[in-house]
Amino acid sequence: MSTAPQPSWWSQSDSGWCLRANRAGSRLSIRRYFAAISRLGDGVFWYTLMAAMVLVDGREGLLASLHLAVTGVVALSLYKGLKRWTRRPRPFAADGRIRAWIAPLDEFSFPSGHTLHAVAFTVVASAHYPALAWLLLPFTASVGISRVVLGLHYPSDVLAATAIGGGLAGLSLWIGLPLLAS
């Protein structure tokens, strides 16, 4: 007689934290805040930031925006490939107690593309414009939290995306800043 494998401690903890965070979404004010943050994280916030950089800082802003755009294209390819490879179901699809407070953009959970982009963009933009960190860091933290509260990602999806986005941004800065300076 075979028994189904028991979920690991990590998996149980990940699901438990996701369920607790998701329950916060039952409060309308919390749900509305994180839904708005998530929508802005779809790209609206980043496109507006890039346009503002160009308008305010001319050529330097254009170079920073191009750096963000190239980083974003690489991030998009990376997270889409990882999602196809891992095929991890979203929390609301795997656990009937977790509710999707907004519609997902795609089927799979790992990693969080919103978080990966937000972290990568924040690191790159802050390298070009350190004074923006006061705005970008809380926004990026809110994007990551929103994905769990809204039932679309596990905390581990967000943590992994944070590491991947940070690594991608670091690589982008290491390669890109010398090119932009010349």
Walking along the chain (182 residues) 10 residues at a time, the average pLDDT comes out as 55 81 92 96 95 95 94 93 91 89 89 96 96 97 96 94 96 75 52
pLDDT at 8 (0 to 100): 62
Return the structure tokens found at 8: 């690991």
Q: Residue 16: which of 28, 5, 8, 4 has the closest Cα?
A: 8
Q: Residue 88: which of 160, 150, 181 has the closest Cα?
A: 160
pLDDT at 18 (0 to 100): 85
Asked whether 91 and 109 are in contact (CB, 8 A), the reply is yes
pLDDT at 94 (0 to 100): 86
Name the pTM for this structure.
0.89
pLDDT at 12 (0 to 100): 72
pLDDT at 124 (0 to 100): 96
What's the CATH class of domain 41-181? mainly alpha
Question: How do residues 161-180 score in pLDDT, each as one tens digit?
Answer: 999 999 999 999 988 765 55
